[in-house]
Amino acid sequence: MKRNILVAVILVFSLISVNADFKVWVERGGVFTIGEPATFLIYVENSDSTLDSYEILEPDVYYTYPPGPGGTDLSNLIDVSLQSNRIEDVGPDGVKDTQGTIMLLAQIYSEGTVTFTVESDNTGNQEQAVIQISGGASGGVPRTLPEFNFIGLLQILGFGFLIFYSFWVKKSTS
């Protein structure tokens, strides 16, 4: 009886560890700005003892507004592109990556996700990595052109003041 339990425990742990032949994670920096591509990297670490290659399946983009089941699907407002959907020849304990970009086509008011599924060529196992996109990540304020920052706003106000002042001076001297 004890031997059967031991065999069952070993079998369960060996089946659980079969899916652990690689790890996937995503890293990105900066903030999302409407209309500007934000770069990210998808990393794959091969923890198996053999050389392997990996395919990144079509990214799953999820964004609804208002959030929840009754919201409208607005996933088309998040554009995702990959430099390559393949990561080739990752050796045992090796790490390789591929680059991609995410571009917001409009303001994001609630949380959305981009899920990347990576599949091993050798085993067919799949792992996922997720990038969270929220209203705070896109700045919280619509910003579509790079010239509309604080300096640009001061320039617009300065030119407006000069025009107003020139008309006021011209009117007071007449």
**How does pLDDT run across 118-169, given as a tens digit for each residue?**
999 999 999 999 998 876 544 444 445 555 677 777 888 898 888 888 887 7
The helix/strand/coil state of 87 is strand
Task: Give 119's DSSP letter.
Answer: E
> Under the phi-then-psi rule, with left for phi > 0, alpha for psi from -120 to 50, and beta for the rest, what region is 138?
alpha
**How does pLDDT run across 62-72, given as a tens digit for each residue?**
988 888 788 88
Task: Give 75's DSSP letter.
Answer: G
Q: What is the pLDDT of residue 2?
A: 59
Which residues is 116 bridged to in the sheet? Answer: 129
Helix (H) or strand (E) holding 131: strand 126-133
> Under the phi-then-psi rule, with left for phi > 0, alpha for psi from -120 to 50, and beta for the rest, what region is 56?
beta
**How does pLDDT run across 30-62, given as a tens digit for each residue?**
678 888 899 999 999 999 899 999 999 999 999
Is the entire prediction scored with pTM above 0.95? no
Q: How confident is the model at residue 101 (pLDDT cuts 50, 70, 90)?
A: very high
Give the Cα separation of 90 and 72 in Å (integer): 40
Question: For residues 10 and 138, which has the higher predicted lDDT (pLDDT)?
Answer: 10
Q: How confident is the model at residue 19 (pLDDT cuts 50, 70, 90)?
A: low
Q: What is the pLDDT of residue 145?
A: 53
Q: Which sign does the torsion angle of CA 87, 88, 93, 95 carry?
A: negative
- Residue 20 burial (CB count, 10 A): 11
Answer yes or no: CATH 3.40.190.10 is held by domain 21-143.
Answer: no
